[in-house]
Every structure is written in structure tokens, then in C-alpha cells.
Structure 1
Amino acid sequence: MPNRRRRALSAALAVFMSAALISAAGGPAPAATLDYVGTYVWHGGEASFGGFSGIEISPDGSGFHVLSDRAWLYWGSIERDPQGVIRGMSIAGRAHLRDGKGVPLKPGYLGDSEGLAIGGDGRIWVSFEGLDRLAAYDDPDAAAIRQPRPPDLPGMRVNAGLEALAIRRDGGLIALPERSGGEARPFPVLQFSEGEWRRLTEIRRDPRWLPVGADLGPDGFFYLLERDFRGVLGFASRVRRMRLTEDGPRDEEILLESQPLQYDNLEGLAVWHDGQGIRLTMVSDDNFLILQRTELVEYRLRD
């Protein structure tokens, strides 16, 4: 069976199983249809290429920014066919992110960049774990503009800090840590606005699933990409969407739950409108390992 057809059938099965699980649990079945669009395996020759944990897509789907977990930012253009399927990725530039003094960040404790969000004004926001913090960049080559440190949260530690980052239309940021401090403890949702942090709400945790990426869609929903590492069986991924309120999430749906090894280690999520529906674009972190790959996976959501 051709690889593309196999992936499409696997994706359809995953969506069907997710709907069945929600229905069996007593909740409403999703009101949306999720269509598999395509997968693009991306190769790069630079030593800094890989480890991508964050992604932003331009409103028309033709441009991208991706963030590696070693403090490198890449940007460029996307070639698509008439059906909107990715056929090529062209890198226009890359930058080694810097600290507040203008010194390039080293991989590890200070340079573990995880979350990426770009505002309507072009300002680039990056969340780091290791030394948990948020930094802003008016230009990729500029020194970081330091921001107030986020509050200490249960479960936050080295390699388990602010993992998912999204930006609202008003410029406020939403951030989630990778862990909550216990399998039965919900994930706290932080809001950063006008230089201040506050706890907005919390999101239910399903024991093995951990947040790795997030975005606020043009439909007003908050989209959360989660990952389950299953050892030798590889990674499974899922996407939830919900409306965030101070009284808790509303209208929550599990849109996608992949099978182990169906995709690589999906960590970054961008949500945009492609003219036919809401497009979900996800990018994988290959951990700079030869056995893994950098791939972009896309779905279209039709309500």
C-alpha cells in the first residue's frame, strides 16, 4: 500500500477511535471532522538543524518560523501544491538566540528553548525550561528582552518547565508547564500580560499525556498538543481543543489521537485558517538522533 494512503487510513482510524473513546466516557462526540492533509519529511545540512519544539505559520500558510531546543530560530517559505500539501521548505535565514547581554545561548540549562509565539507586531516570544523564563526578541539577532520570571509551580524542574506557549490577539501570552506535579493533578495555565504573570485556570491531566505545544486558533479555541512516550514503541500524540475561561475549560474535544510510531516526536503546533477550514501544522523534534526525523504533519478541521 502506498505510504501516503497508509498514513491517511491510519489517521482516519485514529480520529474514529478518539470519537469512540469520548462517546464511551459519557461525553459528547466531537462536532468536528478532521481530515489528514499530508506529511513532509524535512532535511537540513546545518549542524544546528533539528530538535524543533516550536512552530509558527504565516496566516496564508506560505511562511514559517521554527524553534529548536538548542536556541536556534529558523525561518523561510513553504512550497505547497494546489491542494495545499507541503512539497518543499526553503530556509531564508537562521539565528542563534542570545541572552540579555547579547551572548549566544549554549545548549542545555540556559539554552533549552521550547515554546514559540509571534505577535501581530512581529515580536518573537520564547519560553525556556532549565532556567525557566520568558524572553522577547524584537529581532532574531538582537539581545533578549528579559521578562519577569514565571511563578514556581508544582512539577516544574530541569527539562520539565514552560513547554507550551501561545499568544492571544491582544498580545497576552498563555503558557503551560510540561508536568503538573502528579498524574491526578491538573495542569496550571499561566497568563502573562502587561509584564505580569497570573494563574488563569487549569486543564485536566490524563495521566500519561504531557503538553508539548499550543496555539490559539482563529476560531477562538485553545489548541493543545500532547505527547505520550511509550519507550520502544515510540511516541503517540494527541490534540485537544477547548475554550479557556477563568471558570475552567469549556467545549473541550479530543480531535486527534495518533498511534505509537504513526508520527515522530511531534512537539510544535501552529493553527491557522487555510480558506477551507482550520489547519493544524505540527513539527517533530528529532532529538538530533539519526533514528528519528524532522517531519511536518498537517490536518484540516471542518466544523
Structure 2
Amino acid sequence: MRLRSAIQLITALLIAGSAQALDVKKAQWIGSYTLRHDAAWFGGLSALELSQGGQRATVLSDRATIATARIHREGDSITAVEIERNWPVRSSKDRPLLGPAGDSEGLAIADDGTIHISFEGVHRVARYTELGGRAHVLPRPAAFRDLAANGSFEALAIDGQGRLYTMPETNRTRDNRIPVYRWNGRDWSTPFTLPPRGGFLPVAADFGPDGRLYVLERKLSLIGFRARLRRWEIADGLPRAEETLFETNGGTHDNLEGLSVWRDEHGRLRATMISDDNFLPLQRTELVEYILPG
């Protein structure tokens, strides 16, 4: 995300910091880890995927870089993160992406290792058979053409059948709902919509090992970034049993934009999130983890 108002952002960061989570009765925060790396590309991390067991990660920067990392843990705590390799996100012509065309935001990795990335500057989803490889851009339906320039596909998820789901951050249907677009390998459809609540905007999504759809949402106020995680069961192709797992006050975490839901060695569901620092020194890149109810 490229924020529209630097003044509002800086004000929020300066006066935030002491806020606490509003409601973690359903999900339990277990820790945060600030990630640092000296490379020039590092920053703006907007998406991540963790392996089962939470030991390995793939992270995506919104300036068209993708990287792999190893996560070291002791008990429930992250003790170190090693960035291993990084690659430029490339175009269909096998060139590094630059400018708005390289505003890479969402990440979903299939069971066979195929990588999918959603883009916000030029609204599209692309498939990659390998890290650093050439893009295969999926067809762009008419519904993608008029989306907001800074408010489209930050969220991308893949279900157990290999179908992709994405949703715009700011655009809404005529009845003010969040449209969810699904790619089945042949074409796009809009199988359902989700209800927006309280001014939060969807910035990441994932299907957990329990088969439920998880959506991370963000809201910016004068006291910092707020975060919310909701989930739905998908039954007969439609969402039901909506739950709010947590909702934070401003400043509890930084600008959370990436989400991966996985099961740990004890069988517990975990949500790991990563923050986009917008390449600003006042912000930080942090990994934030919650234990989720089963």
C-alpha cells in the first residue's frame, strides 16, 4: 500500500505506541519479532506464506521483490529470522517490474509450488512456476478495469481445490459489500461477497488448514494502525459462521498486511502476520503471531 497522506501516517506513528489489544478473548497474542535486513530491497513486506511447522517463509515486497527466509523458534517465540535468497518479480516479458506495474501485494502458493502474486497498481494476478521466473498473467475481466488505483488486490488466497480468491481493498458492490473474485483455472467469477464492518479494509487472506477463509483487515486512525482478523466457513460455495478472532486498538502492531494461517507441532492453529514499513524509518517490519481457537 502506498499511503495517501504522509502527514497523517507520521502523526499516527508518533502518538501511538502504548495502545493495547481491544479484544483477544478469542485469539491469543503470543509474540512479535522485529525483522531487520540491510539489503536495499528490504522493506514494504506485504505478504507471506509459511510452511507447515512455521519454520520457513516466503515474503513479498510491494516493490517487486520476493524472498525466502528461515524462522528459528524456541517454544512459542521467534528467536531469529534469516533471509536466505531474493529474486526480482518479473514481467511476462521476463523483465524486472518497475513503478506501478511492480506494486506486488498478495501471495498464494499452491501445493505443487506454483506461485501466484496479485498486483495493485495494474490490477491483475500472475502465475509463476518458479521463484524469479517469467510471469504468466491471468486473464483480466472487465470487473478489474475500474478498480481504485491504490485500493485493489492486496489479498490473495488459494483453497484446497487450487482455486484463487482475491478481493479489492476499497471497491464495493452497489449494495456496499466486498466482492470476492475466484479463479478456477479457466475464468473468473464472483461466487460471493463479504460484509464490511466498522471501516476496516481487507489487506490479506488465507485458507487455513481447517478449510476456513481468513481475512486480515486494517484501519488507520490518528492513534496508529488497527488490525482485525475475521474468518468464515465456506459451505456449498458460500461463506457462513462469520467470526471476529481479534481486533486491536491503534498502535498495538505496525501496519499488518500479510497473513499465513498454519498448524503448529501441538496441533494449534496459528496466524502469523507481517507488517509493511512503507520504507519509512518511523515504522518497523514485524512478525506478529496469535494462537487461534480451533
TM-score, L = length of structure 2: 0.89
The answer on whether the counterparts of 1:183 and 1:206 sit within 8 Å (CA) in structure 2 is no
In structure 1, the residue matched to 2:76 is 84
Structure 2 residue 80 is the aligned partner of structure 1 residue 71: no
CA separation of 1:259 and 1:93: change in aligned 2, threshold 3 A: same
> How many residue pairs get matched?
276
In structure 2, the residue matched to 1:264 is 254
Structure 2 residue 129 is the aligned partner of structure 1 residue 120: no
The answer on whether the counterparts of 2:275 and 2:287 sit within 8 Å (CA) in structure 1 is yes
Q: Could you tell me which of 10, 24, 27 is aligned with 1:15?
A: 24
Structure 2 residue 32 is the aligned partner of structure 1 residue 39: yes
Aligned residues with identical type, % of pairs: 42
In structure 2, the residue matched to 1:25 is none
Structure 1 position 154, deviation (Å): 9.3
In structure 1, the residue matched to 2:228 is 238
Q: Which runs of 5+ in 1 are unaligned?
A: 1-6, 17-32
Local SS of the residue matching 1:152: helix
The answer on whether the counterparts of 2:205 and 2:213 sit within 8 Å (CA) in structure 1 is yes
Q: Which runs of 5+ in 2 are unaligned?
A: 1-16
Structure 1 position 225, deviation (Å): 0.1
The whole-number CA distance in structure 1 between the counterparts of 2:182 and 2:293 is: 29
The whole-number CA distance in structure 2 between the counterparts of 1:177 and 1:159 is: 10
Q: Could you tell me which of 132, 156, 166 is aligned with 1:141?
A: 132
Q: Could you tell me which of 9, 29, 41 is aligned with 1:48?
A: 41
Structure 2 residue 278 is the aligned partner of structure 1 residue 287: yes
The answer on whether the counterparts of 1:54 and 1:68 sit within 8 Å (CA) in structure 2 is yes
The whole-number CA distance in structure 2 between the counterparts of 1:195 and 1:148 is: 9
CA separation of 1:153 and 1:194: change in aligned 2, threshold 3 A: closer
The answer on whether the counterparts of 1:51 and 1:285 sit within 8 Å (CA) in structure 2 is yes
Structure 2 residue 57 is the aligned partner of structure 1 residue 60: no
Q: Letter of the 2:178 partner, please give it.
A: F
In structure 2, the residue matched to 1:96 is 88
In structure 2, the residue matched to 1:28 is none
The answer on whether the counterparts of 1:201 and 1:245 sit within 8 Å (CA) in structure 2 is no
Q: Letter of the 1:79 partner, please give it.
A: H
In structure 1, the residue matched to 2:122 is 131
Most deviating of 147-156 and 165-174 = 147-156
The answer on whether the counterparts of 2:108 and 2:116 sit within 8 Å (CA) in structure 1 is yes
Structure 1 position 301, deviation (Å): 1.3
The whole-number CA distance in structure 2 between the counterparts of 1:299 and 1:41 is: 15
CA separation of 1:208 and 1:182: change in aligned 2, threshold 3 A: farther
The answer on whether the counterparts of 1:184 and 1:205 sit within 8 Å (CA) in structure 2 is no
The whole-number CA distance in structure 1 between the counterparts of 2:30 and 2:159 is: 26
CA RMSD in angstroms comes to 1.9
The whole-number CA distance in structure 2 between the counterparts of 1:206 and 1:182 is: 14
Higher relative contact order (CA 8 A, sep 6+): 2
CA separation of 1:212 and 1:51: change in aligned 2, threshold 3 A: same
In structure 1, the residue matched to 2:210 is 219
Residue by residue over 1:107-160, the C-alpha shift from the partner in whole angstroms, topping out at 9 and shown as x without a partner, is x32000010000000011000011101111111121111211144259722111
CA separation of 1:206 and 1:273: change in aligned 2, threshold 3 A: same
Kindly report structure 1 stretches of 4+ aligned residues shifted beyond 6 Å: none
